[in-house]
Structures are given as C-alpha cells and as structure tokens.
Structure 1
C-alpha cells in the first residue's frame, strides 16, 4: 500500500477554529483510521488555521516521503492555506471534503480547488463520509497510482541487446523516457549473459532449478531440442540476468534474444518466465519485470502495472482473433510467467499446470517453451505506445476464459500448441482494437485496475485512450 500525508484545513478566524477543532479532529481521526484499516500508512500533518502552519505542516509531511498528500475539509477553510500548503508540497495533491451537512466542508474544498485551478496546480477532488468504503477505495487508487509513478522516477531499465527483428515499437528514445517517466536506460550486450552462463559458476544452482521444474512441472524432453543440459543452460541464463540486475541495480529489464540467443545459445523463455514470477526453487522472491524481445514500451507498461498491483504482469502477442467465439488468443513464445497458470501463491499449484515443451523451428538453438493456459478471471489490459512521437496509454477491461479440454486443444492447435495461451474476451470491438492498437504486444494484470491506470496516466501526463464496447 501507500504512504499518505493527511492535513486538515480549517477556518482562519481563531474563535471559529477553536469552536470547530473537535469536529474537525473527529472527522480526521475517522478518516485516518479507515485509511489505516485499508493498509495505508498515514502521516498526520495536523490541523492548519494559519499561513505559517500551512507551510510547516506541508513541508513536514513532504519530508516524511509520502506518495500522496491529502488536504481534508470538514469545515469552511480559508483558501490561502491550501495555496501555501500546495506550494510547499511538490508531489500529488488530493482534496477530500466531508459531506456532513452540519459544516460546509464541500464549500471549503470547492473554494480551495478553484484557487488551485487559477494557478494551474494539478490536483484531484473526492468527497464523502470519512469511513465510506467507496471513498477509501478511491483514495487508495489515487495513492497506489501516485506511488507507482513516483517509483518509476529514478529507476533503471536494463536492455540486453538491441532492436529485435526490426521491431520499431520495441525501441524507445532514452531522452524521452527520462523526460517523461524519469527512467534511465542501461545498455548491456547479450554476450555478458552468455559469458556468465557459460562460466560454470552457476552450474550447481541451475541443477537445483532443473530438479525443481522436473518435480513440479511436466518436462517433455526429446533428446534434441530439449535436453536436461539445454534446460540448465536456460536456467543459467536466468541466474545471469538476476546477477547483472543486482550488480547494476536494474529495476526492470528486457532481453532481445532473437535472433542471436535463439539461434546460437538457447531461448530466453524460461529465464523470462521465472524473472516475472514471484518465486523460484529457493522460495518467494521479488518479481523482476522482464520483457521479451527487449520491448522497452512493453517493459515500461509492465513495470507500471506491477508497481500499481504488486502482481506479476502478463506479456503476450495478440496472436489471433476467433470471431465465432469473440475471443482473442494472447500467445507469445514462452514469456508468460508460470504464476498465470493458476494465479496461486503456491508455485507447486501453478507448475502443476505448466508444460515445458521443446522449442519450435523458429528457435534452432532449442530449449524449453513454458506452456500453460492462463487461469480465468477479470483482467485489466494496457499498453504504452507512441502516436506521432507522443506517448499514449491504451486501456481496456477483459476476461480470461478457460474452455473444456477438447475445445482448448482445438484452439491451441490452430496456432502454436507449445507456447502459452491466454484466451481473452475484450471489452472492445475487434475492428476498433485492430484498427487502433499501437503494438503487437499487450500486457495484463488481474482484476479491474482501470482507476489506478487512469490516475497514473494523468500523473505522468500521457494521453489516455480507453476503449469500451
């Protein structure tokens, strides 16, 4: 959850403020308790009834490293206090009004918000009873989005390799990334991964990983494209990425893989799946968002969604549309994290639904493809892409479906059975999607997280393009 600064704004007349103090404090306490119960850390800035306290309270809250500052209005409040507090608070600002008719909290918020509008200070407004569940969830969405955007700033993306197979949508302008998102890009040659993977230092650990996969997943060795030795090579590649990420302080990554690794070393499918998983054979671990084909905008979208939700993020090609079922087959090599097979915190439960198949003819170096059918449920799908050089965030709601065994087999056989699939019903007409979607890759997280994504787009300053039927 997020760290939220909370400041109550009051009337500047001393005798009025003295009369209102108990009322304001009771509303503030109830609001703070509801936020804390929802899992947020609340940093209290106190009650503001003078110019000096407006500035000092805001500076104190900002110094505590809050991701969102909330100015709370339970009564009529002098608008200049809000102006001074806003000036002392560089981060995202949310105005919240109590709707108790006993006091004019709404009036105070509107007067303050109008004053902020006049100087162009960005802010958001919400209102409701202090313990209202809808209000608390809305504040939480604002806070989670603000925290995600703040976490992007100052982070580093590690790009292993360059542009894959002529894919312009996978390559972004590093200057634009720093200006828009505050993200630096560290360029790393793929040979560094090969060098480390072949050094022998990682052999014992990779052997443990192979045994773990053999125990919990179904591994289809064929003695040619997939052997124990090739699987261990893929696991050493995974460990090499983790080591480089730790040494160079990479927050998220992308691996080109095609064609050099896939033709001469091994596919990166196992590495990419495990990097995006919240576990490996050593137990729980942080997700290290990693995009296949070194897709920079894909990785950036995934990192933003991960920071908002805390869950792994699906990476997939928009492979095929089945008009008779109004279902999309989202499929891309072995990139899908194994977590999506059952969306369980228990890796054994997920891996029980995972098959490691020999890679297909596209990748002559061989190795395993991580195959499964994504678990059903509501999903939020999104993608950052560029239109005429400017970023936009395309957003839609969807539903992953799982069919009976024979139907699933028939559907996957139409494309590439060895690869992972997510069968998605999207809340957008197929013609609209195919005519306007800005890439061949799409990304998804469980649940309806559109509120947070909308707020994040506004915080970043990119245009939101949201689709519905």
Structure 2
C-alpha cells in the first residue's frame, strides 16, 4: 500500500478479504492487518465469508468494489473541490444561536484543515441596510411603506402580484404583506453584504434577536441557497445556514461544490420505522419543492409563505414546501469528535409528503421524508448533532473520497447500508 501511494501519488482504497475456512486463520490475518491500519488512521473495508459457497459474500465484495470505483471516478472532481475550498470565505451574521455549541467552530482549525477564510458582522448591519431599502411610516414590517430599492419591488411583484407562490395571511404572525416586504429587504441587504465582502457561504443567527424583535430570516436563507431569486431570475448559489451553524454551512458548501446545485439546511426532526423526517424552523430552498430537473419557477410556484410559529414573537413568513417522493438525496454533517473533524453521511430515498403532515409537526415548516438504509437507532447514535445538510443524488462515494483526501475521520453509510469509516 505504501509503495502504491508513493508510486502513484494517490490515495489507496483498501479492501481486506478474509476467506472463511475453519482450518485456516483467514479472519485472524484480516483482523491483524486491519488493526495495524487502524492504528495509523488508514481506512479500509473488511469482507469476511466463504466466497465459494455463500453468494452474499460475492455480492458484498462487488458492492464495495462498485462503491470504491465511483469514488475513484470522482477523484478529479473531489480534488477540485478541495482546491476550491482555499478560495472560500464564510460570513457569520451574528454569534452563537440558542446556546448551541455545535453551531460554532474554531476558525483557526477551519483555516488549517480546509483553508477557509472567515468574516463576521453583527446582525444590526442587516437591519441598517434593509431599512434603507424601504421607507416605513412606523415600525418596519408593521406599517405603511414605500419601497425605495427596485429589487425589492421586483421581487414583491413577481412573488405576490404575479402569484408565484401561495400567501397565507390568516395567522397572527403574518397579517399582511408588510412583513414579506421587510423579509425581502433583509435578503437583498444580505446579498449586498455578500458581494461587498466577497463571501461564498454564510450563516445568519436569526434567533432570537431578529425573530423576537424584527422578523425571521427565513426568506433570506431560502433564497440565498436557491438557484433563482425571489424575482424569478437565475442567481449565484450562496450556501447559507440558519442559526449561524458554521459546520452545517460548510457541509452545504461541500455538497454544492460537488454538484453545482443548491444544498439545503435542516433539522434532524424524527426517525421512525426506517423513515427520516427533515424539517427546519422556517425554510427549505424552493429548489427542493420539486424534482431536480424541473423548471425552477414552477418550484417557486409551489412555495407557501405562511405565518411563523408562536416561538418567534416578531413573526414573519416561513417558506414552506414538500419534497416529492422517489428521489435519492444525500444527508451529511461535518462535526467534531473530541475536537477532531469527522464527516457523517448517508443516502435516503424520499417518499411523498401529504400536506396533512404539517398538522402533525409544525404547521408552517417545510418537510422532507426519506427511507434510510440503516436502523433508526444507529442513525440517531451516529449523527453528531441536531442539524444536517442535504442535496439531491447519492454523493456518499464522493464524500468518502473527500474525507479521505482531506485527512479527516468519517462514518458514511452507502445506499445498501454498508458503513465506510475512518477514525477521527
């Protein structure tokens, strides 16, 4: 293996096969080799069984070979992603949200491991810029207004007047279009900051200064992540996390760089009978309200702008929708275990979500549901926190390749439930 890496300048994708025969110590040899590799942090996959008599052994071996082949075929793309990370710059709008330590990072470690730069601004910068875009007679979001920024006017015209989306003003947290105007202004304020500071991915704290006193940042994060803006026009994708979750935003960035498409942010809400429920406290990008190859404007038409839940005193609209069934999606999260980075991921197959499901959870929040390839308790145990990033497609081979090349730990479960891992 060392000779292979020295001669090729590439990583070695190692499979250990131990033939099952009681008369020879095949498993002993395989475990001895595996133990030696584990000690020095080299990942491998171990297959054990009677390949001559048990067809499952051949199937397992072929499955692993196919997985590693896909990883090898993605090598150039993955190396390009790793190179691009050194040109990425994160914007933190606000600090730690809701006392969640898993939303914070050591920015020096980010620089050392991934090469990423970092910028931070207070959320008040958003408010100052947003309030310069609209003239309010009284409190912003709750009074008569005159729009001063053409972009806000165009977005309001497209979404509301031209009916690209459904607006529900029946809840106390969203009584009229005024809050939507304020939320759109926050989005364009963030967009201006992103351009001014050369930002490539970001997070906004939101809770609870914005959500308690001004309005939620749901429209901001939904459209930052999306491939078209609230005016219906194509735009650059800026991976963005709620609650300023920095490692989730980085996970989204990696998924986006691998696919060139949007990646979303969600809560690990529930897992029951082999089905994972992904929700978020106010938004999923509209890109996920349909199939990946659908017209993005048609997906905007499915977005539902509904008054937020009672947890957010300032109110505002969520961006609600449902992801259709029959699609493969990757869910992933970078995190730290004993202060060392690891990447956890798996693939799900989405199932259709009936609109009545919103009554079961939180009425105004978006939902993705998908079948998982491993037992519920295993997924709960291995997942490093309450948040995750998601993207269309099975990216698990690419993520194994990425983590191996970056030199971080990983626990990644393929479509067939097979675990690929490396110690942190």
Indicate the TM-score class for this superposition, using the shorter chain for normalisation.
0.7 to 0.9
Mapping 1:44-443, distance limit 5 Å: 93=10, 140-200=73-133, 203-214=149-160, 215-222=163-170, 224-226=172-174, 227-280=176-229, 281=231, 283-323=233-273, 326-342=274-290, 343-376=292-325, 377-403=327-353, 405=354, 408-409=355-356, 411-443=357-389
In 1, Cα distance between the equivalents of 2:365 and 2:347?
A: 24
In 2, Cα distance between the equivalents of 1:224 and 1:207?
A: 24
How far did residue 349 of structure 1 move? Answer: 1.2
Q: Does 1:455 align with 2:401?
A: yes
Cα pair distance change 1:440/1:134, threshold 3 Å: closer
In 2, Cα distance between the equivalents of 1:143 and 1:137?
A: 12
In 1, Cα distance between the equivalents of 2:409 and 2:187?
A: 35
In 1, Cα distance between the equivalents of 2:305 and 2:272?
A: 26
SS in 2 for 1:284: coil
SS in 2 for 1:363: coil
In 1, Cα distance between the equivalents of 2:198 and 2:270?
A: 37
In 1, Cα distance between the equivalents of 2:336 and 2:129?
A: 35
Partner residue in 2 for 1:67: none
Structure ID, larger Rg: 1
Deviations 1:31-89 (A, max 9, x none): xxxxxxxxxxxxxxxxxxxxxxxxxxxxxxxxxxxxxxxxxxxxxxxx9xx97996xxx
Cα pair distance change 1:454/1:161, threshold 3 Å: same
In 1, Cα distance between the equivalents of 2:6 and 2:409?
A: 27
Cα pair distance change 1:412/1:203, threshold 3 Å: same
In 1, Cα distance between the equivalents of 2:168 and 2:365?
A: 13
RMSD: 2.8
Partner residue in 2 for 1:33: none
In 1, Cα distance between the equivalents of 2:116 and 2:296?
A: 32
Deviations 1:367-416 (A, max 9, x none): 1100001122111111101111001000111111104x4xx41x321210
SS in 2 for 1:244: helix
In 1, Cα distance between the equivalents of 2:213 and 2:333?
A: 31
SS in 1 for 2:302: coil
Kindly indicate whether the alpha-carbon contact (under 8 Å) linking 2:180 and 2:317 is maintained by their aligned counterparts in 1: yes
Cα pair distance change 1:430/1:223, threshold 3 Å: closer
SS in 1 for 2:96: coil
TM-score by length of 2: 0.76
How far did residue 458 of structure 1 move? Answer: 1.1
Kindly indicate whether the alpha-carbon contact (under 8 Å) linking 2:283 and 2:320 is maintained by their aligned counterparts in 1: no
In 1, Cα distance between the equivalents of 2:114 and 2:264?
A: 21
Kindly indicate whether the alpha-carbon contact (under 8 Å) linking 2:70 and 2:397 is maintained by their aligned counterparts in 1: no
Structure having the higher helix fraction is: 1
Kindly indicate whether the alpha-carbon contact (under 8 Å) linking 2:286 and 2:299 is maintained by their aligned counterparts in 1: yes
SS in 1 for 2:74: helix
How far did residue 137 of structure 1 move? Answer: 6.0
Kindly indicate whether the alpha-carbon contact (under 8 Å) linking 2:70 and 2:398 is maintained by their aligned counterparts in 1: no
Q: Where do 5+ consecutive residues of structure 2 fail to align?
A: 13-39, 43-65, 135-147, 419-424
Kindly indicate whether the alpha-carbon contact (under 8 Å) linking 2:330 and 2:392 is maintained by their aligned counterparts in 1: yes
How far did residue 150 of structure 1 move? Answer: 1.1
Kindly indicate whether the alpha-carbon contact (under 8 Å) linking 1:210 and 1:228 is maintained by their aligned counterparts in 2: no
In 2, Cα distance between the equivalents of 1:140 and 1:287?
A: 25
In 2, Cα distance between the equivalents of 1:458 and 1:196?
A: 42
How far did residue 435 of structure 1 move? Answer: 1.9
| Higher relative contact order (CA closer than 8 Å, sequence separation 6+) | 2
4+ aligned runs moved over 4 Å, structure 1: 82-86, 133-140
How far did residue 315 of structure 1 move? Answer: 1.1
